[in-house]
């Protein structure tokens, strides 16, 4: 739908419902690296997005492969826990993510709980400052877990005022929205859009998909 070819890499397999994660089976870091190297060797790459990485070893394996692709836009969706609250990245993984991937990414897209876990701060401005200090070029703090009748995401870029992206909040609880948003942002960056354009287009895309899903429930 977004005009891009996706080359997925499997890092873990989960058994879960909307209410709980029942099992997580990690793919070995070596195999993740082999998958990623193969995907990147298939043809030109316009953007890269990471999601659930599960462990510090996997984070380091991914970072080693991506060291040869530093000019390619990198969007990091820091999947730290499932929608039901199960931890999906261990403490070593969080530390490795901060030191080896956030330091070189184009954009990191934490939701409010993830931003708090990564930074130890509760205020979006302080969270963004902490993450920018780690080296990431920009931070999109997603407001899906926030209060109010609008879902407001805030884009922070060093030396610039925050940019707000807002859509009406739907009365529905759906999994995978953060993954969809980060993937759509990466797609639009790969198509040549600016960060602001990519975030805006992706936010509208996900809002449309959520409206469709809510109407079918």
Domain assignment of residue 62, yes or no: yes
pLDDT score for 1: 82
Residue 62 has pLDDT above 60, yes or no: yes
Domain assignment of residue 7, yes or no: no
Q: Which residue has the tokens 């836009």?
A: 73
Domain assignment of residue 32, yes or no: yes
pLDDT score for 144: 64
Tell me how far apart the alpha carbons of residues 215 and 197 are, in angstroms, rounded to a whole number.
27
Domain assignment of residue 18, yes or no: yes
SS3 209: helix
Residue 124 has pLDDT above 70, yes or no: yes
DSSP 130-192: HHHHTT-SEEEEB-TTSSSSEEEEEEEETTS--EEEEEEPPS---TTHHHHHHHHHHHHHHTT
Domain assignment of residue 2, yes or no: no
Residue 217 has pLDDT above 70, yes or no: no
Domain assignment of residue 89, yes or no: yes
Residues spanned by the domain of 98: 12-216
pLDDT score for 69: 96
Domain assignment of residue 65, yes or no: yes
Domain assignment of residue 4, yes or no: no
Q: Please report, for the domain that includes residue 55, its CATH number.
A: 3.40.1190.20
Residue 148 has pLDDT above 70, yes or no: no
Structural domain count of the chain: 1
């Amino acid at each position: 739908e977004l005009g891009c070819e996706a080359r997925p890499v499997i890092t873990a397999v989960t058994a879960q419902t909307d209410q709980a994660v029942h099992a997580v089976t990690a793919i070995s870091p070596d195999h993740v690296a082999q998958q990623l190297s193969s995907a990147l060797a298939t043809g030109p790459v316009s953007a890269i997005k990471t999601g659930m990485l599960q462990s510090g070893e996997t984070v380091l394996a991914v970072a080693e492969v991506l060291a040869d692709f530093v000019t390619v836009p990198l969007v990091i969706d820091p999947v730290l826990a499932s929608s039901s609250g199960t931890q999906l990245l261990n403490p070593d993984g969080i530390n490795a993510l901060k030191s080896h991937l956030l330091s070189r990414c184009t954009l990191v897209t934490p939701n409010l709980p993830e931003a708090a876990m990564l930074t130890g701060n509760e205020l979006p401005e302080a969270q963004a400052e902490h993450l920018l200090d780690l080296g990431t070029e920009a931070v999109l703090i997603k407001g899906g877990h926030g209060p109010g009748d609008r879902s407001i995401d805030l884009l922070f870029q060093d030396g610039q005022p925050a940019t707000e992206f807002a859509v009406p909040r739907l009365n529905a609880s759906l999994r995978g929205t953060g993954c969809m948003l980060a993937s759509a942002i990466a797609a639009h960056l790969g198509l040549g859009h600016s960060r602001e354009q990519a975030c805006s287009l992706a936010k509208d895309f996900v809002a449309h998909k959520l409206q469709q899903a809510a109407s079918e429930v």
